[in-house]
Amino acid sequence: MLSRITRPAASALASNIKRPLTLRNHARPFATVDGNTPRVQPTPPRTRATPISHDRATFTIRDGPVFNGKSFGAKSNISGEAVFTTSLVGYPESLTDPSYRGQILVFTQPLIGNYGIPSAARDENGLLRYFESPNLQAAGVVVADVAEHYSHWTAVKSLGEWCAEEGVPAVSGVDTRAIVTYLREQGSSLARITIGEEYDADQDEAFVDPEQINLVHKVSTKAPFHISSSTGDAHIAVIDCGVKENILRSLVRRGASVTVFPYDYPVHKVAHHFDGVFITNGPGDPTHCQDTVYHLQKLMESSQVPIMGICLGHQLLALGAGARTIKLKYGNRAHNIPALDLTTGRCHITSQNHGYAVDSATLPSDWKEYFVNLNDSSNEGIIHKSRPIFGTQFHPEARGGPLDSSYLFDTYLESVGRYKRSQAIFQPKRDSRPSPLLVDLLAKERVGVVPTTGMENLLRMGEAGEQAAAAARAA
């Protein structure tokens, strides 16, 4: 199992070896394998950090209004897609959600930052207690009023200090009601945050559209990592499209060890070693992930393994089944969106963060709609009619709540258990549990993920433009 899972990485390593390796004089004749050996990943240097800026700040919507406010984060000029969330709490979790990569997040809650930012403490499984990923993911932050003085027993710094450390600009003192009204009427729009400069209409061409970028590639782990569960013997292959920590926690606490693979890993080639496959949330347009869609197609053709997808994972599952996705006008980002379970008639209050949705009218005949949004009637879930495969657009694991739909993890792991027992009948010696050696070799957290840079620093973009113009004149 170990050789099959690690073969792509090993092949890449072998191809880069230019000369024979020289062994050290003191080689160990025997190696001790400890499944609980802690591994510490190197922390990337924070070259993006700046002092907190309190300069004039401008929030500009492309071909739209301009809002003047005050900076309270990094002194950095960025652009991205402006979106809004109506969530009242959970701003640390929202801002570290990889699904927000490349987006400028506008909070409709008037006061943000009043309970500060907690530490990067980890739980007994090595997962972050208070964040959904190790870094702030949003390109920029816009609020009506920021609390510069915070109060909470978990807090270690202010929202402004955190934004400055992460190199993310933040703006307060703007009319977020007017911004949200514009975005609801016009749809999600490209926008820019400029710190300490006057707005220049001639720079409108500097807007960067994150939807043209494969954002999943930026947030997905670059090599497999593993998290063990001490309470069960299930083993799940997780396809990381921008996984939230609480998705992994929700699986591990229910007795499933997880091996997390890059988004484009050919999971269908190793699925027979696992008891289930899980596709996670992530940012951007699902059609950028064509390799993932192809691998899911092959997986469903060649394996009966249970599959669950959340958010982007749900959309990729639908694409793999043959359906299509659509871009919503301004998306759904909130903690209070009603979703109706079409199989039971029950309504759940859900947490959501997405700009795309599955077009349920394009589902093949062996699939059916599972959940529907009661606000805009968009699709919120799909389920296969005869196999243990389903996906939800909303987040059953929602950190910050609500937890109405968390039972879906139990539903998924019940199907995993049934699959595992059925396989034991035909393969009595089958053991899907990860070997101690595999556990020891793999990292224990996401590998090689570079923090957000706000898509592009507009100052650098301007310099590059000037250099190009100079070169053209010289030619």
Report pLDDT digits (tens) over 56-70. Answer: 999 999 999 999 999
Phi–psi pair at 270, nearest 5 degrees: -120, 5
Residue 208: band (very low, low, confident or very high) from pLDDT cuts 50, 70, 90: confident
235 a catalytic residue: no
- The model's pLDDT over 11-26, given as tens digits with 9 standing for 90+, comes to 443 343 333 333 333 3
Phi–psi pair at 268, nearest 5 degrees: -65, -20
Residue of 226, 314, 395, 445 marked catalytic: 395
Q: Which of 410, 373, 375 is nearest to 394 (CA)?
A: 373
397 a catalytic residue: yes
Residue 467: band (very low, low, confident or very high) from pLDDT cuts 50, 70, 90: very low
226 a catalytic residue: no
Residue 106 neighbours by CB under 8 Å, 6+ apart: 82, 83, 84, 85, 142, 143, 176, 179, 180, 183
Phi-psi region of 242 (alpha: psi -120 to 50; beta: other; left: phi over 0): left
The lowest-confidence range among 84-98, 144-158, 198-212, 376-390 is 198-212
* Alpha-carbon gap, residue 19 to 39, rounded angstroms: 29
Partnered with residue 339 across adjacent β-strands are: 348, 373
Q: What pLDDT does residue 198 have?
A: 65
Residue of 81, 165, 245, 397 marked catalytic: 397
Q: What pLDDT does residue 292 have?
A: 98
Both tokens assigned to 309 = 């997808």
Residue 428 neighbours by CB under 8 Å, 6+ apart: none
> In the predicted model, is pLDDT for residue 278 greater than 90?
yes
Residue of 311, 335, 348, 380 marked catalytic: 311
Q: What pLDDT does residue 49 have?
A: 79
Q: Which of 120, 58, 44 is nearest to 453 (CA)?
A: 44
Q: What pLDDT does residue 247 have?
A: 98
Q: What pLDDT does residue 48 have?
A: 67
What average pLDDT does the chain have? 87
Percent of the chain with pLDDT over 70: 83
Report the alpha-carbon angle 349-115-403, nearest 5.
20
Q: What pLDDT does residue 95 have?
A: 97
Q: How far is CA 74 from CA 52, 98, 148, 170, in A?
A: 6, 19, 15, 7
Q: Which residue has the higher pLDDT, 432 or 190?
A: 190
Partnered with residue 118 across adjacent β-strands are: 155
Mean pLDDT of 146-164: 96
